[in-house]
Structure 1
C-alpha cells in the first residue's frame, strides 16, 4: 500500500488476519524443519495420528483453500483421499515425508503469491462454497473468514505436532 493511500479499517483487518496466517505458516515450517523424517513417522500419542499424516493433512486442507478462495485448482488433488477422506494408516500408498516437505514448500510459495495479488476488497468477497443468495444474508462467509478458520486449524495441528519434540 502506498503512503498516499488512506488506510481503512478493512485494510487493517485484512493485514491482521494475514499476519497471523503468515506467522502460523512460518511457525509450522520452523517446527517441521526441526523434526526429522523418522520423527514424523511416529504417532503423536499411542493410537493417534502420525506426524506424516498431519503434514499431509495440512497440505491437503490448504490445497482446498485454492478452490475456496477461487485462486485456481488444487496443486495436489491426490492427497485428498489419504489425508482428508481417510484416517491415518487407512491408505498404504502415501508420499514420503521428504516429498511432502517439497509439496509444502511449493504450496507456501504459490499461496503467498496469490494472497499478495488480492486486494482488500477481494478478501471480503464470497468464497466458492457459499451461494450468491446465501452470501447476501451471510456476508461473513467471505474469503477472509476462510483464512481465519484455516489459521485456527493449522494452529490446532501444530499443537499436536509439538508433542513429537
Structure 2
C-alpha cells in the first residue's frame, strides 16, 4: 500500500467510524427524544438528523459522484432554521433516509480512485485549485467528518 493509499484509508476509516458512532447514539434515542431541543432555544435532534442528511447529500455534487438523493431536504434543513419550515419528514422517515444515504455514499466512495480523491472538488475553480491543491475531494471528507462529529456531540445531549 502506498503512502497515498494509506492516507486515503485513514481518512475514510475515520469517516466510517464517525458514521457508526453517530448511528450508535441515534439508535439509542426514540423518535420522541429526537423532538427535544439539544439545549433551550436550540435545534432539535430531528433537525440535526435532517441537516446531516442534507449536508451529506451535497457531498454527491461536491465530489462529482452523483446527484442529490433527497433534494427536498435542502430547504428545511440547510436554508431554514429549525421550526421555520411548515413541514418536515418524520423522525422515522429521516432514519430510513439516513441509512439509505450512508449505504449509497459508501458504495460510491469505494469506486473513487486515489487520483480522484486528490482532484479538485466542484466548488473550487481550476485557477484556485492550482494555488490551493488541498481543496480536493478528500478534504471534503475530512471537513464533513468533523461536522458529523460536532453534531454527534450535540445528539448525545438528548439522552
TM norm. shorter chain > 0.5: yes
* Matching of residue 136 in structure 1 with residue 130 in structure 2: yes
The residue aligned with 2:28 is: 34
| 3-state SS of 2:110 partner | helix
* Matching of residue 16 in structure 1 with residue 10 in structure 2: yes
CA displacement at 1:134 relative to structure 2: 1.1
RMSD of aligned residue pairs (Cα, Å): 0.6
Q: Residue by residue, what CA displacement relative to the aligned partner does 1:39-88 show, whole Å, maximum 9, x if unpaired?
A: 00000111110000000000000000000000110000110110000100
* Matching of residue 68 in structure 1 with residue 62 in structure 2: yes
CA displacement at 1:120 relative to structure 2: 1.1
The normalised TM-score by structure 1 is 0.95
Decide which structure has the larger Cα Rg and report it: 1
* Matching of residue 84 in structure 1 with residue 78 in structure 2: yes
Question: Would you identify which runs of 4 or more consecutive aligned residues in structure 1 move more than 2 Å?
Answer: none
| 3-state SS of 1:73 partner | coil
Give runs of aligned pairs for residues 146-165 of structure 1, distance below 5 A. 146-165=140-159
The residue aligned with 1:127 is: 121
The residue aligned with 1:46 is: 40
* Structure 2 segments unaligned to the other structure (5+ residues): none
* Matching of residue 109 in structure 1 with residue 103 in structure 2: yes
CA displacement at 1:91 relative to structure 2: 0.7
**Separation in 2 of the partners of 1:16 and 1:161?**
25
CA displacement at 1:162 relative to structure 2: 0.3
**Separation in 1 of the partners of 2:137 and 2:152?**
23
The normalised TM-score by structure 2 is 0.99
CA displacement at 1:30 relative to structure 2: 1.1
* Structure 1 segments unaligned to the other structure (5+ residues): 1-6
Count of residue pairs brought into register by the alignment: 159
